[in-house]
Chain A
Amino acid sequence: MDLTYTVLIPLIPLFVFLLLGLNYKRIKEPVSGYIGTTGLLITALMSFYTAFQYFFNYGKAGGVYQKIYAFNTEWIHFTDTLHIDMGILLDPISAVMLIVVPLISLMVHFYSIGYMHKEPGFTRFYAYLSLFTFSMLGLVLSTNLFQIYIFWEMVGVSSYLLIGYYFEKPSAILAAKKAFIVTRFADFGFLVGILMVSYYAKTFDFKILTDLSFIENLKMQSGIFMGLSVMTWALIFIFIGGAGKSAMFPLHIWLPDAMEGPTPVSALIHAATMVVAGVFLVARLFPAFYFFDDGFALNVVAWVGAFTTLFAAVIAITQNDIKRVLAFSTMSQIGYMMLALGVSGFEGHEGLGFMAGMFHLFTHAMFKALLFLGAGAIIHAVHSNYMQDMGGLRKYMPITNITFLLAALAISGIPPLAGFFSKDEILAAAFENNMPVFIIGYIVAGMTAFYMFRLYYRIFWWNNPDYEHKPHEAPATMTIPLVILALMTILSGFIPFAEFVSPDGAGFHSHIDWSLASASIIIGVAGILLATIFYKKESELPTRFVRAFGRVHKWAFNKFYIDEIYFFITKTIIFKYISGSFAWFDRQVVDGTMNGIGNGTVWISSKIKGLQSGKIQDYAMFFISGVLALIMVAWLLFN
C-alpha cells in the first residue's frame, strides 16, 4: 500500500505555522484559533487513521510488528552506509506517539481558544503551537538519529518561543533562556553520542541500529574505553540529551521555571509530549541500550530515573505554586517511565518494563494534560498560581472539580483509572528485575498520591476564602477538552497495550498480579487518606509538620538548592576563574599584540612623517640623494 500520505501528518502543522506566522498581523484573534484547530484536526484524524491501520492492518508481519518506512528520501550522502535521510518511520512506539501528540495538541488548541482569549499575540501563539506540533511529529516519526536530532532542536526552539510567550515579563524571558540553554547543553551530549555512533556504527538509520544481528556484529568490533564498549559510551551520551529534554536529575532545573509559559503550553509541551522525548529516544534505541555491555547504559537510565522520581516527589510535596507542583510531578512521572525502561528485559514477557514505560507515557500524557488544563481553568478563574489564594472551589467549578479529581485519582494509581494499570505494570517490572528500584518506585507511588491530593484538597476544599471576583466555571471551549481527556483517563487503562507495544515487536499478554497491585493500591489509598487528614479542612496540622521537619522541609522547598549550585558553578567557578583567565589572556596578550602593532605603526609614523614636509626642495633633495646612491651602487656592482 502507498503510505506516502503520512508525509502530510507533520507537514500540515508546518503549513499552518507558515500561514499564521507570515500573516500574523492580518489574521485576527478567533480566526487564527479556528485555522490552527482545523489544521490540527485534519492531522489528528490522519494520524489516528495511520495508527489504527498500522496496528490492525499492515503493521504485523509473521506475528511481529515491523518497522515500516512510510517514506524515505536521502538528504545528505556521506558514504554508502552513512547518509542522512528524511523520512517517516512507522513502528509501535511511533504509532503510539501518533495518537498521543495530535490528541493532546488538538485538545490544547481547542482549549486555548478559550484560555488565550483576548491575549495579545493570539495568532503568534497558534503559530508557535503549530510549529511545535510539526517538530514533535517530525521527531516521533524520524527514521534516523540525525533527523531526530534536527527535530529535537526544533522542539527545543518552539519550547523556547512558547515559554517566552509573555516576553514583557522578565521572569518569562529568563525561564525561556534557561530552558533553551540547559537543554542545549544536554543536546551537546546527544550530538557527541550521534557522532560516536556515526563513527563506530557507520549508520544513522534506526532500522539498522536496532537490528539484533547488526548489534551482535558491532559488539565484536567496537572498541573499549574505560572498561565499557564505545557504543555504551555513545548511548550514555545520547541519554544525556534525552535526560536534558526529559528533565532528569541533574538537568531538570529548567522544567519548573518553564511554567512561566501559558498553561496550555505547559500541558502540551512540559507535561505530555516534549518532555517525554527522552523516554521516546531511549525506547527508540532500546535494543542497543539493552544489548551493549549487558545493559549497562540501561542501568544508568534506570537509576537516573529512580533517583529523579524520588527527588522530584519530595520537592513536589513542599511547593505552593500549583503549576510547580504539577511540574515536579511531571518530572517524577517521567522518572517513572525511565525507571520502567531501565528495568525492562527484551523478549516476550520480559519486555514488560518497556511496554509499561510506553504505556505510562500514554496514560500520563492524558491525565497530566488534564491536570494542567484543569489548573489552567483554575488559574483562569482565580488569577493566581498559588494555593494560598485558593480553596473551596468545588462549589464554583464543578466540571473542573470532577475532572481534576479523576486525574488525581489516576495519577495516584487507583483502579480502574488509567494510571493504575500503567503504574502497576511498572512496579511489577521493577519488582521482577531490580528490587531497590522497586522500593523507590513504591515509596514514590505513595508520595505521589499524597502530594496530588494535597493539591486537590488545597484547591477544591480547605477553607473558603473571600474572593474578590467570584470564581466561575470555565467556558465550554475549555471544559470540553477537560471532559474528553477525563474520558481518555478512564478508558485508556483498558487498552491491551502489551499486545501492541513490546521491545521485540511480537507482543504478549500482560495480566495484573493482584498481590502486587493490591500493595500499590494500599499505598496509594494511604497517601490519599493522609492528605485527607491534613488538608480536607483548614487546620494547623500541615504547619506543625513543616515546623517539625524544619531544615529538611526548607531544603526541599528550595528544591535542594540545585539552582544555587548551578549558579555557584557557572558564576563563581566557570565565569570568574576559567573564563576570567581566558578573558585576561584575550585582553592582555591577544589584544595587546594587536594594539602593539597599531601603536607601533603610529609611533614609527610620527617619527618619520617629518620627511613629508610639504616642501618641494626637500623632496628634490631626497630624490637627488637617492639617484646618486643608486648610481654609486650600480657603479660599484658593474664596474
Chain B
Amino acid sequence: MIFGVSIYEILTVSTIIFFIGIYGFVTRKNLIAMLMSVELILNAGALNFVVINKYLFPDALGGVIFSLFIIAVAAAETALALAIIINLYRLIMSLKTDDLETMKF
C-alpha cells in the first residue's frame, strides 16, 4: 500500500493505460506494433489484479499469483505470436495489416 495514494488513483492509471493499448491495437498498421499494444493491455490487467489484491484483500495471494500467470501467459503468447509473424513475413515479405485481408467478404 502506497502511503497517501488511494485505490482510485492507481485504477485510473491502469484504465488509462488499458485504453491506450486499445487505441494502439486499433490504429497500428504493423503486426508487431499491434502485439505491443496487446502487451500494454495485459500489463494494465495485471496491475489491476495486484492493486485490488493489496488494497481490498491483503490477506489473500490470488491477485499476485494471477499476475504471475499473466506474465507467463504473455510470455508464451509473445513467443508464439512472434514465431507466427516471422513465418508470415517469410511467406509474404510484409507485416502490414492492409496486406492481410484474406478474411475479406
Contact = CB atoms under 8 A, between A and B. Distances in A.
Note whether A and B contact each other (Cβ less than 8 A). yes
A617 B34 CA distance: 9
B22 A614 contact: no
A617 B97 contact: yes
B104 interface: yes
A632 B96 CA distance: 34
Interface in A595-639: 609-610, 612-617, 620-621, 624
Contacts of B105: 609-610, 612-614
Contacts of A610: 105
Nearest to B34: A617
Contact of A614 (B26, B27, B28, B103): B103
Nearest to A605: B105
Interface in B85-102: 97-98, 100-102
Interface in B35-84: none
B54 to A, nearest CB: 27
A614 B25 CA distance: 15
B104 A614 contact: yes
A105 B104 CA distance: 76
B104 A617 contact: no
Given A620-B26, A624-B22, A614 B101 contact: yes
B34 A614 contact: no
| Dominant secondary structure at the A interface | helix
Interface size band for B: 10 to 19
A615 B26 CA distance: 10
Most buried by B among A609, A615, A620: A615
Contacts of A612: 103-105
Contact of B97 (A609, A616, A621, A624): A616
Given A620-B26, A624-B22, A613 B34 contact: no
A609 B102 CA distance: 14
Interface string B5-41: 0000000000000000010011110000010000000
A614 B98 CA distance: 9
Contacts of B102: 614
B24 to A, nearest CB: 10
Nearest to B28: A617
Nearest to B103: A614
A82 B51 CA distance: 89
B97 A615 contact: yes
Contact of B26 (A609, A613, A621): A621
A624 B24 CA distance: 13
A121 B26 CA distance: 80
A365 to B, nearest CB: 77
A621 B19 CA distance: 12
Contacts of B104: 612-614
Contacts of B28: 617
Contacts of A613: 101, 104-105
Contacts of B97: 615-617
A617 B21 CA distance: 12
Contacts of B34: 616-617
Scoring A617, A620, A621 by chain B CB atoms within 10 A of each residue's CB, the highest score goes to A617
Nearest to B31: A616
Contacts of A614: 100-105
A609 to B, nearest CB: 4
25 contacts: A610-B105, A612-B103, A612-B104, A613-B101, A613-B105, A614-B100, A614-B102, A614-B104, A614-B105, A615-B97, A615-B98, A615-B101, A616-B34, A616-B97, A617-B26, A617-B27, A617-B28, A617-B34, A617-B97, A620-B22, A620-B25, A620-B26, A621-B26, A624-B22, A624-B26
The 5 A-B pairs at the shortest CB distance, nearest first, are namely: A614-B104, A614-B101, A614-B103, A609-B105, A612-B105
Given A612-B104, A613-B101, A621-B26, 9 more contacts: A610-B105, A614-B100, A614-B105, A615-B98, A616-B34, A617-B27, A617-B97, A620-B25, A624-B22
